[in-house]
Amino acid sequence: MSQTAASNNAIRSYTPPNRILLGPGPSELHPRAMAALGQPVVGYMDPSFVQMMDEIKVLMRYAFQTENALTFPASGPGSVGMETCFVNLVEPGDKVVVCRNGVFGGRMIDNVERCGGVPVVLEQTWGQAVDPNALEDLLKQHPDAKIVAFVHAETSTGAQSDAKTLCEVARRHNCLTIVDCVTSLGGTPVLVDQWGADAVYSGSQKCLSCTPGLAPLTFSERAVEHVRARKKKGQSWFMDLTLVLEYWGATQRTYHHTAPGNSLYALHETLLLLREEGLENAWARHHNNHMALRAGLETFGLNYVVPEAARLPQVNSVWVPEGIDELALRRRLLLEFNLEIGAGLGPLAGKIWRIGLMGYSCRPENVLACLSALGTAMADLGLPADSVAAQAAAQAVYSQLKIAA
């Protein structure tokens, strides 16, 4: 028997390890989402399934705080949500202002170029919010710009920008807006109608506590009119809104693609969980656990990358202490403590840790477990980290907020 055949014979059913997921995504699945994933499969045109689709749209409008008729989940991760917005709104030759203050702003630029658009880049410091005044100045220099694109919650740094003000600036210059809310939806306020945003996308696997692979989307009437007025078809058949609407629309549905049914069951359940908790309570939960984590991290002498005013509660980015092999430490956390935290990306690779508090992962027991494991690992490297003191600092925050921990 060959070595390849022997190794093939050794393959068994996969059982993943039970990790505490405190990276920049995905978050831990809520038990009700896991149960929903195990429900029986039905056809994508089954009347029961169609009813569930309608309910998902209603629940998504609540999550996005919008009345937009065109609100639905695309079949694919947040990156598909991003691309759906660009391939439908950007035509060849269109000038698009892209605000880049992290990795995902860079991906927006790539999308513009692939659509044949002309990107005008507003470069911002990584770890800082996008400056509305700088956007205003750039739009004055480019009065023919048609779209402004920015990331509300930049996952690569943990910085959150003022989406409402950025959208107001864009509207004053007659621009549509494309807004990345992959990491913010369900964790911090996303107020699509109040902002006046036109095309907004997110992901199912972060603050919604759902399985990866779905991209909640919502489009304003202005955006829909823009799509209908296109001079030529978009470059993507799969993401063409005029075709997708025939399946997700309000009238008689026609086949477009085989929808990921069980994943949609889970999204339905997690959106229902969000409504049961209440948006304001969900936002407060993320903020409160962030405050407790911050108190503990400060006892280790760790400094945040992002200024407090722009700090995203669900992505806590801190500078790695000098002389530390950050990869080795993260690997120890994973293999010894079953706890995952994230690394830096791009120019921040090897320089920062990103500790995520998202969705079902955002719980006091996870905050305390993180402080215990991180403190132990740092102390073993000779750093002044006392995990007991860190947990006590976090507990003090919970006591002040009257939260059981």
Q: DSSP secondary structure string, 252-292? A: S----S---HHHHHHHHHHHHHHHHH-HHHHHHHHHHHHHH
CATH number at residue 301: 3.90.1150.10
Last residue of a domain, one of 247, 275, 303: 275
- pLDDT of 233 above 80: yes
Taking a C-beta distance cutoff of 8 angstroms, is the pair 147, 171 a contact? no
> Does any domain span residue 33?
no
Same domain for 335 and 384 = yes
Same domain for 332 and 251 = no
Give me the count of residues in the chain. Answer: 405
Same domain for 251 and 175 = yes
- Domain around 209: 39-275
Same domain for 64 and 120 = yes
Last residue of a domain, one of 256, 275, 294: 275
The Cα–Cα gap between 225 and 231 comes to: 12
- φ, ψ of residue 129 to 5 degrees: the values are -70, 155
> Does any domain span residue 292?
yes
Same domain for 396 and 296 = yes
| Number of compact structural domains in the chain | 2
Same domain for 78 and 188 = yes
* Residue range 358-365: mean pLDDT, rounded: 98
Same domain for 288 and 245 = no
Chain CA centroid to CA 230, Å: 29
* 250 Cβ contact list (under 8 Å, min separation 6): 69
- Which amino acid, one-letter code, is at 390? A
> Does any domain span residue 34?
no
Taking a C-beta distance cutoff of 8 angstroms, is the pair 117, 133 a contact? no
- pLDDT of 2 above 80: no
* 129 Cβ contact list (under 8 Å, min separation 6): 101, 159, 160, 161, 162, 309, 310
- pLDDT of 4 above 70: no
Q: What is the pLDDT of residue 351?
A: 96
The Cα–Cα gap between 308 and 293 comes to: 14
> Does any domain span residue 11?
no
Last residue of a domain, one of 275, 305, 325: 275
> Does any domain span residue 15?
no
> Does any domain span residue 253?
yes
Give the model confidence (pLDDT) of 159-217 as tens digits.
Answer: 999 999 999 999 999 999 999 999 999 999 999 999 999 999 999 999 999 999 999 99
- pLDDT of 250 above 70: no
Same domain for 321 and 260 = no
> Does any domain span residue 1?
no
> Does any domain span residue 4?
no
E-strand ranges in 278-371 read: 315-319, 339-343, 352-356
Q: What is the pLDDT of residue 219?
A: 97
CATH number at residue 239: 3.40.640.10
Q: Which of 122-126, 145-149, 241-245 has the lowest mean pLDDT?
A: 241-245
Taking a C-beta distance cutoff of 8 angstroms, is the pair 140, 170 a contact? no
Same domain for 317 and 247 = no
Same domain for 160 and 184 = yes
